[in-house]
Structure 1
């Protein structure tokens, strides 16, 4: 076994990972930082250190999980073969892919290591694990795997080999990942809940910002194994967005857009508030609504000076507007926004009567105590431009730098933020070989589009000339009273 891992020298973060005795261990870091290799070496070492049974056989069985079969075969399995070549650990090609290593060891015992390669993504896929008896498991690129799969795996490890054959000397779950989105279960487990028996390791950034550009971080891990050296990461940074570099090369939590974002004007560092926004006293609350079986509502205020503050988001799933308004939004208006006057605007299609009782969505909102007007337009371009106008606006700063933005998003609006960063986008269309990129004319309908539609209706109301003029007048000569905007 030692000849398989010859030359392997763990980086500082990965050395701590190998020394850990935690039941669940996870490593997060930039691309190319040696995470997957460390997982392979860990399984090989655990197999070699397994207690032999009465017959001198060291038996282990591991599951290696990836979210899809193509990625399992083209990425995970190839990394495994770098450390356990098929000559000594042949792989059976039929599903599930199974690798088996049987070899004599220097102390006279024999190794019998079985590795099952499984494609598991959703909670439904977790049922495939019900009959497995495993020593341990490795989840590769864990950000793509549902938390329910981990929960199921944790019930299957520590069950092999049976006690009569020595019992498992070690059992547990290891996982590696590039950084997931904010709010992902990995971030929740690693940064907030920190369950007993779980330990997370975070590798250093590969690149650091220097003089408006990027430079190699002297603490970057796995540098000596990259054929291009530091150029491996520096080349990738060229032409990429700051958010892409932050996630893949600097190892930070965040979203990366696939397709074309609806709002390229959005800058997370500029437009996201540092702390949750509290409502401004005496300033009307502007609500925007989207209807259907996935209703959505966004609460905003047009602050003195003309800045649009996005305070809260409310999203329904599989519920009608009546229940959503009465059980979700109305209670929030009575508690969090008590004492504020409310001006509510919604999708003009909400004036259509239902075939059952002929009540409209506007009727339902009025009955819930939230009289609502149809937005002045349902044209997508007008709606997008209303939001984009606030995103692009702001006060001039000193020395030619940007000052305070005209749009500020509260960090508790997680759906809106993820939509801005990646989810609310134009879908990429197929192109002929050698052709230019093409995108759909309207955004993809998904879990982010409804909440962004609601924001657009609020922004349409906020950008009305009379309303913006009144907001500036309330702001006084300075346009932004320090007591009102403190902390924003």
Structure 2
């Protein structure tokens, strides 16, 4: 423990600080100690920098925030709180620079020199402000507020100080902290979707023995209301519970529970979904059938799911398309299935509208699939049963701890849809009023496919032995005539 900061109390930050990844992101809720962890990361890296010929360990860091007001009100205050200038170094407010030069690494005689250059960069056209900097590393504070172009540009400025002739940087890279950003953001695409294997392979050729995690890695802190919440000892009792009062579910999801969110006007259809809890690696059991859900139209989609012996429903893969007919899409699904699910039997359930003939083709979607050997059957059409069939496993806990629904991270479209892309549209009236039906958008097709499988697995229980649907408990909302095409039936 140094100055009251105990890394052991925040295990995610400890792993973050021990990683050697060139680009690292630390994502978590309010009050979880992210900024403090980054401050200490800079100082500890500075004390580990190899000394120069004169025995001084020198490093230079850019500290980036979206505005000078934010820098002064939060970032600089956090740095000075841990390392007050009157005790640790020299602060130049007019230059927004701070040199920590009164700390001596163990075994050294001379203090290290850790230079911090505070810069406000909130527009892509400010990239020019970085071009002359020679840095060891950079910290982007609240990175989701900074354009990704800035983050990309700063990567080219690190590792340049000290100069190679003076021994070079012992470690260089970019560290970032943030509250969870939008699931449509560059941040999400970089850390959650991009395959960094090619970059790692290229670096391994020039840096023998390089750890596979050294290029990019993200660390996600537990939610503030969960059992594993971090930094609670440094927060008032009940901090997160009070913070949640009166906030929307989406706000709490991002700022308290630490999940990716959506900037949207609507309300998520499946608010029960928790990305940190439901999204995890999973794999199918070869002896069991894989349930494929289908949605048709000119944007067909297919999801691959399985019901495990434990009662857990897993979604392991997805295929989505744009401007594609069902015949071509069926060929893609068949090829994908043969490659990734060999010697697996399939149960196919699809949109009942696929049994309707289109005006431009005498064959139905079901007939086209049957001709390819895909014995598809219709799922339930009733919207209420479809939605509740997905909600049931989302709300289920197996053995008191395991989720009843698990989504593999590779299913990026389903994941974004569950996180809020699939939504009830907010009505343009006063107050909080939303449409009765989920909005037809880019996320609805794959979610419809998922729902048809869910009705096969859970729908019969919801209808009840007494024919609840006929009794009016589950009534299909009237079609307004705008959600189906007269040509495709979708």
With the shorter chain as reference, the TM-score category is 0.5 to 0.7
Rounded Cα–Cα distance in structure 2 between residues aligned with 1:374 and 1:288:
9
- Report the CA distance shift for 1:345/1:154 in structure 2 as closer, same or farther (over 3 A): same
- Report the CA distance shift for 1:126/1:387 in structure 2 as closer, same or farther (over 3 A): farther
Which structure shows the bigger proportion of residues in strand conformation? 1
- Aligned 8 A contact 1:179 1:248 in 2: yes
- Report the CA distance shift for 1:320/1:120 in structure 2 as closer, same or farther (over 3 A): farther
Where 1:292 maps in the other structure, the secondary structure is: coil
Aligned residue for 2:351?
346
The one of 269, 285, 301 aligned to 1:296: 301
- Report the CA distance shift for 1:132/1:442 in structure 2 as closer, same or farther (over 3 A): farther
Matches within 5 A, 1:77-116: 78-83=73-78, 88-90=92-94, 100-101=96-97, 114-116=117-119
Aligned residue for 2:468?
none
- Report the CA distance shift for 1:255/1:102 in structure 2 as closer, same or farther (over 3 A): closer
Aligned residue for 1:156?
157
Rounded Cα–Cα distance in structure 1 between residues aligned with 2:283 and 2:16:
39
Where does the alignment leave 5 or more consecutive residues of structure 1 unmatched?
Answer: 1-6, 91-98, 210-215, 471-488
How many residue pairs match? The answer is 415
Rounded Cα–Cα distance in structure 2 between residues aligned with 1:104 and 1:417:
44
Aligned residue for 1:287?
293
- Residue 414 (structure 2) pairs with residue 416 (structure 1): yes
- Report the CA distance shift for 1:44/1:408 in structure 2 as closer, same or farther (over 3 A): closer
- Report the CA distance shift for 1:130/1:32 in structure 2 as closer, same or farther (over 3 A): closer
Aligned residue for 1:64?
64
- Report the CA distance shift for 1:82/1:343 in structure 2 as closer, same or farther (over 3 A): closer
- Report the CA distance shift for 1:38/1:20 in structure 2 as closer, same or farther (over 3 A): same
1:214-238 CA-to-partner distances (Å, cap 9, x unmatched) read: xx97x73571xx5xx2343341255
- Residue 176 (structure 2) pairs with residue 175 (structure 1): yes
Matches within 5 A, 1:114-153: 114-119=117-122, 131=131, 133-135=133-135, 136-142=137-143, 153=154
CA RMSD of aligned residues (A): 6.2
- Aligned 8 A contact 2:75 2:141 in 1: no
How far did residue 156 of structure 1 move? 2.9
The one of 233, 248, 254 aligned to 2:240: 233
- TM-score of the superposed pair, with normalisation by structure 1: 0.58
Where 1:370 maps in the other structure, the secondary structure is: coil
The one of 440, 443, 448 aligned to 2:438: 443
Aligned residue for 2:38?
39
- Aligned 8 A contact 1:395 1:404 in 2: no
How far did residue 167 of structure 1 move? 6.6
Rounded Cα–Cα distance in structure 1 between residues aligned with 2:262 and 2:243:
14
- Report the CA distance shift for 1:42/1:431 in structure 2 as closer, same or farther (over 3 A): farther
Rounded Cα–Cα distance in structure 2 between residues aligned with 1:130 and 1:114:
11
- Residue 447 (structure 2) pairs with residue 452 (structure 1): yes
Where does the alignment leave 5 or more consecutive residues of structure 2 unmatched?
Answer: 81-90, 103-109, 198-210, 466-490
- Aligned 8 A contact 2:293 2:302 in 1: yes
Rounded Cα–Cα distance in structure 2 between residues aligned with 1:280 and 1:415:
27
- Aligned 8 A contact 2:99 2:114 in 1: yes
Where 1:263 maps in the other structure, the secondary structure is: coil
Rounded Cα–Cα distance in structure 2 between residues aligned with 1:199 and 1:328:
32
- Residue 283 (structure 2) pairs with residue 276 (structure 1): yes
- Report the CA distance shift for 1:30/1:267 in structure 2 as closer, same or farther (over 3 A): closer
- Report the CA distance shift for 1:394/1:53 in structure 2 as closer, same or farther (over 3 A): closer
Rounded Cα–Cα distance in structure 2 between residues aligned with 1:346 and 1:414:
22
Aligned residue for 2:388?
388
Rounded Cα–Cα distance in structure 1 between residues aligned with 2:19 and 2:359:
60
- Report the CA distance shift for 1:153/1:339 in structure 2 as closer, same or farther (over 3 A): same
Rounded Cα–Cα distance in structure 1 between residues aligned with 2:24 and 2:344:
49
1:340-388 CA-to-partner distances (Å, cap 9, x unmatched) read: 4644423627857597x998755654554436577674xxxx3343231
